[in-house]
Amino acid sequence: ISNNGTIQINGGSNGISTSGNFTNGAGALLDIVNVTGTGINLQGFLQFQNNGTVQIDGGSSGLVMAAGSYFENTTGSTLAIANVLGSSINFTGATQFDNYGLVDITNTGSAGILHSAYNGNVTNYLSGVIQIAGNSGGQWRMASSTGSAIYSQGTISINGGYNLFSPNLFVTSGSVFSQTGPFLGNGRFSLNGNALEGITSPGNSPGTMTFLGDQTFDPSNTLVIEVNGTTPDVEHDQVNVTGIATVDGTLEVAINYTPANNDRIVFLTGSSISGTFSSVNPALPAGWVVDYSVAGQIALLYSIALPVELLRFSAKPTHDFKVLLAWETASEIDNDYFGVERSDDGLQFRSLGKVSGAGNSTQIHQYQFLDVNPKAGWNYYRLKQTDLDGAFEYSQVLAVYIEGGKEDIVLYPNPVVESIHFSKPVSGSLIVINQSGKVVWQLDNLEDAETVRLPDLPAGQYLIQNSWNSQSVFNKKIIITKK
């Protein structure tokens, strides 16, 4: 039978059952839907060649191949099987299935591909893609018989639901799984001593592969790991081996997030680990290394030597309306100085001053800086740690609220007879200036004064000024009277 157009079979018992050759031509469509039995049943020594599109939707089985039958899915062709109750493809004897095109299997009640008898062989050539997803009975399974083989130079992608009793790929002891092309997917896989070759890529951006028993990663294997964060299966790929994981070959990592120092991404686990990757290609970004330090794990570790290890940083208001900044370092590497910066809005910062660093040190160092003139309201502070070579990094931003502010200091009583009181403690120097601009009295070295006794001055109006550390705190008018 040769089909060079469109054949549609809708309903009935079986779609096509043949013991002769069948050719589905280039651009041709064979569409079989809603049959109750088998979509295509190949009986005996015959060849089915698909150069176009074959679609099977529904039925008890999709494609059944008896001993002696041969199916060829050529380059550019598609075999799509969905929603069958049993197996999408079932090899019931010594058969050969060659794929150069696309095999797409979804939502099978039993296995996606089932080798129910010995010597059911599949060869997936370089241009071939076999993708299986959503099958409740396992994606690709060999029954108890031995002698079957899977040879793949192309891509195999297996993504399906978790089934406790049936692995997503099950290769029986004595059968062959030789994969030199990409092997992708999620789920549980039992390869029974067959090494992983080619490209192994867990997940569906990203995901997890679990190999039952011991598993060897061949020197020809490339393990591809995607890292988008620190959560396994959700943000990064992971490979789990329930037995011994024997590791060799190449590790290829794509890191797509901004790490924190000491982030550790466990991407391969086993009851024990034997060997190491022979190469990492491309090279890991700066700060990343492959970490074998924990038994039964291989991880990616991000660790950088920080110029300064800051233990704490605080900013607190003092009782006299200044702000004291204090910080402590555990170690310093080439640390030149700390710049202290302040902002009114938390966005635009200006420098208040510098505090020299310790250069190179592994000892704890403590630092302080006093902002003597913060504004009323919110003040935002940060440190700008600067290296000897000019490189710098910022600390976290701290916010301090100053209640009222220095300019709100109230002097009373006013008029003054003998003593003047301050609503907030005053430090530094006080001077009294008469109406001619002459300093008539000065008092230095005040420290948290709340009351000052004035000298015997003529009655009249005066200006009283307070300054601290060469900065003006307040200028107030007072009236002096006599008893």
Query: Residue 129 CB: number of other CB atoms within 10 A?
Result: 19
Are residues 80 and 204 located together in one domain of the fold? yes
Q: What are phi and psi of 408, to 5 degrees?
A: -95, 10
pLDDT in tens, 432-468: 999 888 999 999 999 888 999 999 999 999 999 988 7
Q: Pick the last residue of a domain from 250, 270, 300.
A: 300
Mean pLDDT of 104-117: 88
Are residues 290 and 415 located together in one domain of the fold? no
Residue 146 has pLDDT above 80, yes or no: no
In contact, 313 and 288? CB cutoff 8 Å: no
> For the ranges 46-60, 101-115, 166-180, 326-340, which has the lowest average pLDDT?
166-180
Are residues 154 and 235 located together in one domain of the fold? yes
Q: Which residues contact 364 (CB under 8 A, 6 or more apart)?
A: 311, 328, 329, 330
Mean pLDDT of 288-309: 89
Mean pLDDT value across the chain = 90
Alpha carbon distances (Å) from 90 to 29, 187, 269: 22, 21, 34
Are residues 243 and 106 located together in one domain of the fold? yes
Are residues 32 and 47 located together in one domain of the fold? yes
pLDDT in tens, 203-261: 777 889 999 999 999 999 999 999 999 999 999 999 999 999 999 999 999 999 999 88
Are residues 394 and 413 located together in one domain of the fold? no
Does residue 407 sit in helix, strand or coil? helix
Query: pTM of the full predicted structure?
Result: 0.65
Residue 202 has pLDDT above 80, yes or no: yes
Q: Pick the last residue of a domain from 402, 431, 450.
A: 402
pLDDT in tens, 371-418: 998 888 888 999 999 999 898 989 999 999 887 644 567 888 888 988
Are residues 253 and 314 located together in one domain of the fold? no
Are residues 380 and 338 located together in one domain of the fold? yes
What pLDDT does residue 174 have?
80
pLDDT in tens, 36-77: 999 999 998 999 999 999 999 999 999 999 999 999 999 999
Write the DSSP string, 198-223: SEEEEBSSS-EEEE-S-EEB-TT-EE
3-state helix, strand, coil in the chain (%, to 5): 0, 55, 40
CATH number for the domain spanning 472: value is 2.60.40.3080
Q: Pick the last residue of a domain from 279, 300, 321.
A: 300
Are residues 451 and 386 located together in one domain of the fold? no
CATH number for the domain spanning 325: value is 2.60.40.10
Are residues 238 and 253 located together in one domain of the fold? yes
Are residues 97 and 53 located together in one domain of the fold? yes
The number of folded domains in the chain is 3
Give residue 421's domain range: 409-480
Name the nearest CA neighbour of 188 among 204, 208, 215, 216: 208
Are residues 138 and 266 located together in one domain of the fold? yes
